[in-house]
Structure 1
Amino acid sequence: MRKILINLFSESLTVEDFEYFTNTLPIKFEVFNYQFAARDMFPDIVEAIIKDILPAREIAKTRIILQTNVVDLGHFGAKFYSELLDGVIIVAKNSELLTNAQKNFLTMDSQNNVDFMLDILQADSTNLRLHKVYMHQQHQVDNRYLTFLFNQRLLNDISPIEDFRLVEKKKLRHNLQFVSKGNFVETHFSLANKKLIPLKKSDAQDKIFYIQTAFGMYQFIHAIMSTSESDFTKRSFLFTLFEHAKTKGKADEVLRYILAYLDIAELPLVSFANYNTFCMLLRDQSVLKRQYTFLKKHFDRLHPSQVHALITNSLFYKTAHNQPTYDGMIADQLLLMGKINQFWRKEITLPKEQKRVPYRIAVVVGQFLSIEHGPTKLAVQYVNELKMHYPKADIKIFVEDLFTYSPNELGWLMAYTIKSSSTQQLYHRPHLHTEIDVYYSNCTLERTQRIQQDVQAIVDFQPSIIYKIGSSYNVVTDLLYPYFPIVSQSISGEEACQFVDVFTSGYPESQIQQFYDETNIADQEYISHTTKIEQPQKAVIKNRIMYGLTDSDFVMITVGTKLEAEITKAFVEQLIKVLDTDMDSKWLIVGTQYHSIINNSYQKYVDEKRILFIEYEEHLFDLYHICDIYVNPPRFGEGISGALAMWAKLPIITTDPTAAVSLYTGEENCIELTLFSQEILTLKSNREYYEQKANDMQNRITTNHFFEQTTNDLQQIFNRAIKKFEERTYKI
């Protein structure tokens, strides 16, 4: 049987282009090339070409494939000539639209041609002999074709050329009848039975949900990314699409196409960041490793400010999306931060010599937001208590604004950003010691200017030491490492940096040393210090009626800012066991109004008001006084919210001894997650046991965590950092 390939291409492509695409086909054909300007083509040009090539009696016995870059003509042919053709292949390079070319001629015939083609494009492919149109260049499709597919809802009709198959069904069995504006449009190349082809409804259905196949979904991503829609609209479409893919069981297939796209050499950083985060939304667990592999491989062609932005932004991948780390990640971070430091040393004016004034402490914080924000509250408490117990210290706060980026640094859709800390400065002042000033980084400046200004601000202050709190990836302090001793206190406890003298936090030294050993990180000195949380004061009076609770309710409370990621399925199941066993139990969740696992699988408990969401609570300590226990999900952060609960005399249910809350509860009070429900029900039923746990929590927070000792610990740590600084600068 003859196999004929009709290459029908416009003037925007060359013969060489079509020879290239023809040679990539998995089947060999007898090739016929035709080239016309798009304006000179017409809807039935395919039929005319076939009649020119073959006598009518040979058509049924010949396999005929159309390959074209006139994309609407290709899709029209797959539908109108479904009984004549055995396949249609689109070359999505320099694509053209016959309907656009015809519109330029403003004649009755050309307008009729446009209307006719657009009507036929709406035919339901499931009723046709040809179900799919195959496409070359699946990763580099031009925007004109994507827009056409998107607007005409044809994304479900396409498949990659790798899946190309000749149609096995016999041809010329039917005259096709298409319903167009109440009239029948009929093909006329067969004497067989007539077959009615209904057209799709042109309603306002959401454009996402007509896509059913993985390749259609994948091309929809490209289509959305190529439009001029706002980032908000794009995110809305994509979030819905990814949920749709998971619902349809197509997430793995869509992910496979995206991973192939990410393998393209020389992909721009913004494109890589976008599609890598799409993998995260499709539950891929290799996002961080893929990111650092990309950044290492392509660092020399990327701008260091964007590399740094991606590194800091991806901190949210772990906290907000439960992305796992990998062996060697810390070493990769150190490598990249070293290269970033080398770049900025050539761009920034640094001092030749630096004066250091004794007892002057530059406290550099990553963020300085609402006073209820955990890291901000921690920094405020530390500087105030440090000033109180070490009065000769001259302290100034320097706000890095880690997640508030300079112009043009963030270009990807899923970027996390926070408003500038300077917008909160009026709220900061009443909570700070009167002698403590604050410098805010100017986030409106381009990054080079911003770094230069921040460097100069610290240099002018002439501190004896730089004390970082929650500022792990700070380019400014890295640049100042040759001029000042540097101490870094990580919020999560685990940190590594080649531009720090001493690391500190409340975590045990054995735990941090284990982290260094497991990650093969050497030459990092860590000294633990006594942690302290300021005793809170009641601000308002709350009662259970305000929250729809009764005196007989047993109220469990969970608090956080990243609960979508932190509240896991296993954690929810433990709390649901409690709710099912004890009808008086209620669960307050503070920090969000929605959680996907709870709302999708356990909505009835929300409807019954046994699970209550509170988006934000200004007076958290007062709320704790109407609760019975604090339940901490598996996570590293939110130690302060747990410590506040201890001040309110609530038993703490927590699992991970490496989590921040364990600094206050002690490792001995951490239990396995699988025992949560049993422990909670025991606390509910055994009042003596409950009182014992409640008193233990309050005693621990009041007796073990006082700041006078913290100040003494920090002074020793500062002295150790100064000694190390003198040793390394003397060597220089």
Structure 2
Amino acid sequence: MANRYLLVFPYHVQDENELESILDHFEEKGFIIHLFNEINPENFDLALLPDILQQVLDSQAERIVVCSNVREIIFSWYRCYNHLVHDFVYVIDEFNSDLLVHKKEYAFFQQLFNFAGIGEEEVNGRIYLNIGPQNCHKLSSFLFQNLNFKYFARLDSFDFVSVPKKNTIQKQKEYFYKGYVYAFESNDPGKLVSRIHLDPKSQHSFTLKEVLANLIEQPDILFLYLHELLRSKNPNATSIALHCFELLRNKELEERRRFQIDFLNYMNEAKITFGYRLFFLSLLVMLRVKGSRLLNEIMETLTNDVKHLKYHYPMIANISFYRSRDLLVGDYQFYSASRKEIEKLADYMNSAPDSFPKLMRKKKRIAFLVDQLLSLQHSPTKVTLDYIINICKADPEYEIGLFVEDNFNSCPEEIIVPYSYSAVDSWRLSAEHKKHLQGFPVIIKYSDSNQSKTQRVRSMVQEIVQFEPEVLITTSDISLSREILYPYFPVVYFSMGGFNFSTLADAYLQVNLKEAIDFYKQFPTIKPEFIHEFKYGLDLPKPKKRIKREDLGFSQDDCIMVTVGNRLDAELDEEFIANICQKVQQKANLKWLIVGEAKLKYLTENYKELLGEKIIRLNYEKDLMALYDICDMYINPRRHGGGISIAMAMDRGLPVVIFSNPSDGLSYVGEKNGVGHDYCSYLNEIDKLYSDPDYRAQKANQVKERISTFSMRSSVDNLLEINNIARDRYYQRTKGKLLENTETSKLPFAFL
């Protein structure tokens, strides 16, 4: 019967329980254990291993594993006796021991066990380590020096079933150091000789980029490396982590999927702290692996935590972007957890015990509560302002307050994840907002993102209460102010695309009622009877001038794709740019017009030869409608925004190529007209529009017909009717306890 042996060489063991646990595990797996407890500086020599093997092993030895808590032993034997032993196990202990210090060859031994020149040497297999976040610091300076980590694996990955093959015809090794030759076996004239130089001057030093490029091939070791950088408060930890995951992002989907699974498993096994978990989870988002597991891991991390609540909201805000741009998918578990998390955070920011003495709600006074208010090229901004203008036109008695939370911006002290999104502070565009409102007396209150989220929420709630609205209309599904005010005001949720998962409201506005009801049957977080089909109204301008193709360097034979945005550095990711540029290279007269101020570093560095010829850039064009008249199709990246620019393109008869991810633009185009979630479908649609003029004309008529149904006047009338329905539902849910203009009510903290 074939036998399997574990030879153990303990010396001054610090954690005997850990060693015993490892030995027990090997014994359970059928290994015969040989303990060499008596080794000491006087009787031990590195060259003894062949004699030991000959004495204790029988001819039926199938597998030999050598284990020790002495780094100097295992690391040296891994090199010089690699062909005699199948596996090596190092039980992490004190980094240095005195076992070999007094040997006359110690200077040479140091080079050997410190892996000098190992890159020149043939070694098979890896050294297995009982390594984790709790003990990684003991070995990290060595492990992550040059490419040393390539020679190691976690003990958890040890394969007890299959037996590694030994290289029985390995060359005889000779080590050169300071003019001397060292060999651990007697000279065999029949063997080829491999000479390894250990002198420092002959050693190759790897750059950090070279190290990281190799490190990403081992997810378990990469996790430990990044964890150790964080633990040691390395100032470059974030930039290094982002660089690693940028490299990983370029790998094939299946590789990214496997890496994500492995990395998540290592994280969960390690039981790391809350902050580190969020840090790593945000990095894993960068891999853009479609699915729900990662989103649920994030939500579980948030919902299980009650000690670090001030860091929660930035992650909630980022999830909106993760879902639209990074392919994270919500399931019922996610929607349910999101609802609970919004409740928890609202309670946390609602903790002061004081009360507001008198709460009033005045007729024909509407408060709009929005995530952000950006430039007019930003779809939700223009839609919100246009509705306010048209409500004022429809009935001048209405008073409107616009309350801007800037939910996607956080003060730096509350952001602990490396991969996050943000936007310009809304107040910076206040002049543009005021100008567009055409002199209508609208009160606008902006949030200050330099303050803590708690301060901002309390201030916003105070402003709304003092405004005394009859109804609160919110476009945000993550508003904490709305969550706090829900018991005290009728709430209408005005969707800007996609479906809501966490907002309590008395009425929900959705473009497609059937799609919405089907969605909420699957994810029952909202009462279907509270959902109202709602056609958005649009005030689209007409072209004010005529632009010729020649003005921008295009010919009449060109097929022009156009993309417009004011956040293109964030919205045009590398994958989108690469796919579109490759398509442009394939088609002789296919051109891409990019409109919006942005650096687009990836495009500039990798496709410089296309710029000015097949890719034309404009920082700004005031008359977009005129520009669209020279284009053939609108291509939209994965993003939340872009809706208004898409609606304008549709009005000018441009077919729209758009992913099926929830977005502002998809609400205008219609979900059934999205191309799906993958680039194959997306690029196939471009090919059809490019090669088939009849198909392009058909799609042009479809989009013009669809956008024409978005009448502003009828939409405003519908909105005001739904406000009344929401008010009635509000009184039903409060059972008449809060009567207009008279009732004193208590809010959880003081507003005056």
TM range (shorter): 0.7 to 0.9
The CA distance in 2 between the partners of 1:716 and 1:566, in whole Å, is 45
Partner residue in 1 for 2:149: 155
Shift of 1:332: 3.4
* Residue number among 214, 217, 228 corresponding to 1:226 in the alignment: 228
Aligned to 1:18: 19
Secondary structure of 2:493's counterpart equals strand
Q: Is the 8 A contact 1:280 1:287 kept in 2?
A: no
DSSP 3-state at the match of 2:218: helix
Is 1:492 aligned to residue 493 of structure 2?
no
From 437, 441, 449, the counterpart of 1:443: 449
Once the two structures are superposed, the pairs formed by residues 369-380 of structure 1 within 5 Å of their partners are 369-380=374-385
Distance 1:217 1:617, change over 3 A: farther
- Asked whether 1:452 is paired with 2:454, we answer no
Amino acid at match of 1:75: F
Does the 8 Å CA contact 2:7/2:66 hold for their aligned counterparts? yes
Aligned partner of 1:127 in structure 2 is: 122
Q: Which residue of 1 aligns with 2:415?
A: 410
- 1:228-263 CA distances to partner (integer Å, 9 max, x unpaired)? 14355224431244147649x754553343132243
Question: In structure 2, how many angstroms separate the alpha carbons of the residues matched to 1:680 and 1:297?
Answer: 46
Distance 1:297 1:274, change over 3 A: closer
The match for 2:745 is: none
Query: Of the candidates 711, 729, 752, which is equivalent to residue 724 of structure 1?
Result: 729
Write the mapping of 1:238-637 to structure 2, written as runs, cut at 5 A.
238-243=244-249, 246=252, 250-251=255-256, 253-264=258-269, 266-288=271-293, 291=296, 295=300, 299=304, 301=306, 303-347=308-352, 349=354, 351=356, 353-434=358-439, 435-469=441-475, 471-497=476-502, 499-505=504-510, 507-524=511-528, 525-536=530-541, 544-545=549-550, 547-559=552-564, 561=568, 576=583, 583-590=588-595, 607=610, 611-612=614-615, 614=617, 617=620, 619=622, 620-631=624-635
Are 1:88 and 2:83 matched, yes or no?
A: no
Question: Following the alignment from structure 2 to structure 1, what is the Cα–Cα distance between the partners of residues 37 and 44?
Answer: 13
Q: Deviations over 1:151-208 (max 9, x none)?
A: 2311111123232577664889865223447x45413453435432357852444544
Tell me how far apart the structure 1 counterparts of residues 168 and 56 of structure 2 sit (CA, whole Å).
12
**Mapping of 1:190-229 within 5 angstroms?**
190-192=186-188, 194-197=193-196, 201-208=203-210, 216-227=218-229, 228-229=234-235
Aligned to 1:177: 174
Letter of the structure 1 residue corresponding to residue 35 of structure 2: V
* Cα distance, 1:669–1:117 mapped onto 2, change above 3 Å: closer
Q: Distance in 1 between the 2:410 and 2:368 partners?
A: 20
Which residue does 2:749 correspond to in 1? none
How well do the aligned residues superpose, as a CA RMSD in angstroms?
Answer: 4.7
Which residue is equivalent to 1:187?
183
SS in 2 for 1:264: helix
Select 2:36's aligned residue among 25, 28, 32: 32
Q: Separation in 2 of the partners of 1:72 and 1:623?
A: 71
Counterpart CA distance in 2 for 1:348 and 1:548 is 66
**Contact 1:270 1:411 (8 Å CA) reproduced:** yes
Taking structure 1 as reference, are residues 260 and 457 closer, same or farther at Cα in structure 2, changes over 3 Å only?
Answer: same
Deviation at 1:481, TM superposition (A): 0.8
Whole-Å separation in 1 of the counterparts to 2:15 and 2:203 = 38
Contact 2:513 2:533 in 1 (8 A): yes
Q: Shift in Å at residue 553 of structure 1?
A: 1.9
Query: Aligned partner of 1:314: which letter?
Result: I
Q: Which residue of 1 aligns with 2:646?
A: 642
Q: Which amino acid aligns with 2:326?
A: H
| Separation of aligned partners in 2, 1:317 and 1:97 | 46
For structure 1, list consecutive stretches of 5 or more residues without a partner in the other structure: none
1:145 paired residue among 129, 139, 147: 139
The whole-number CA distance in structure 1 between the counterparts of 2:369 and 2:25 is 58
CA distance in 2, matches of 1:256, 1:667: 31
What does residue 746 of structure 2 align with?
none
- For the pair 1:136 / 2:133, whether they are aligned, the reply is no
Higher relative contact order (CA 8 A, sep 6+): 2
**Whole-Å separation in 2 of the counterparts to 1:547 and 1:142:** 59
1:268: Cα distance to partner? 2.7
Judged with a 3 Å threshold, the aligned counterparts in structure 2 of structure 1 residues 675 and 551 are, in CA distance, closer, same or farther, namely closer
1-structure distance, mates of 2:671, 2:318: 31
Change (3 A) 1:176 1:554: closer
Cα separation, partners in 2 of 1:714 and 1:172, compared to 1, 3 Å:
closer
Distance 1:253 1:9 in 2: 39
**Counterpart amino acid of residue 644 in structure 1:** M
CA–CA distance in 2 between the matches of 1:474 and 1:267?
A: 30
* Cα displacement (A) at 1:426: 4.6
- Asked whether the equivalents of residues 420 and 443 of structure 1 are also in contact (C-alpha less than 8 Å), the reply is yes
Match for residue 75 of structure 1? Answer: 75
State the AA in 2 paired with 1:708: R
State the 1:335 CA deviation: 3.4
Change (3 A) 1:477 1:704: same
Structure 2 vs 1, CA of residues 441 and 144 (structure 1 numbering), >3 Å: closer, same or farther? Answer: farther
* Number of residue pairs the alignment of both structures matches: 704
For 2:657 and 2:258, locate their aligned partners in 1 and report how far apart those are by CA, in whole Å.
40
Q: Which ranges of structure 2 fall in alignment gaps of 5 or more residues? A: 738-752
Instruction: Please state how far the C-alpha of 1:320 moved relative to its aligned partner.
Output: 1.1
Q: Which deviates the most, 280-289 or 526-535?
A: 280-289
Q: Secondary structure at the match of 1:24?
A: helix
Q: Indicate conservation of the 8 Å contact 2:401/2:444, yes or no.
A: yes
Q: Residue 389 of structure 2 aligns to which amino acid in structure 1? A: N
Contact persistence 1:246–1:282 (CA under 8 A): no
Answer whether contact 2:321 2:639 (CA < 8 A) is retained. Answer: no
CA contact (8 A) 1:367 1:400 kept: yes
Separation in structure 2 between the aligned mates of residue 466 and residue 381 of structure 1, nearest angstrom: 17
Deviations 1:516-543 (A, max 9, x none): 2232344251223442333336688865
Task: Give the 3 Å change call, closer, same or farther, for CA 91–536 of structure 1 in structure 2.
Answer: farther
* Superposition deviation, residue 472 in structure 1: 0.7
Deviation at 1:666, TM superposition (A): 7.0
Cα distance in 2 between the residues matched to 1:208 and 1:350: 60
Q: CA deviation at 1:515?
A: 2.2
Amino acid at match of 2:15: T
Distance of 1:676 and 1:167 partners within structure 2: 51
Letter in 2 for 1:714: L
Distance 1:232 1:271, change over 3 A: closer
C-alpha displacement at 1:654, in angstroms? 6.2
Report the CA distance between 1:317 and its aligned residue.
Answer: 1.9
Say if 2:494 and 2:508, in contact at 8 Å, map to a contact too.
yes
| Percentage of identical aligned residues | 20
Distance 2:686 2:716 in 1: 36
Instruction: Kindly provide the CA deviation profile for residues 615-647 of structure 1, in whole angstroms up to 9, marking residues without a partner as x.
Output: 854544453243233345788763311111134
Contact 1:279–1:287 (CA under 8 A) maintained in structure 2: no
Deviates more, 1:111-120 or 1:262-271: 111-120
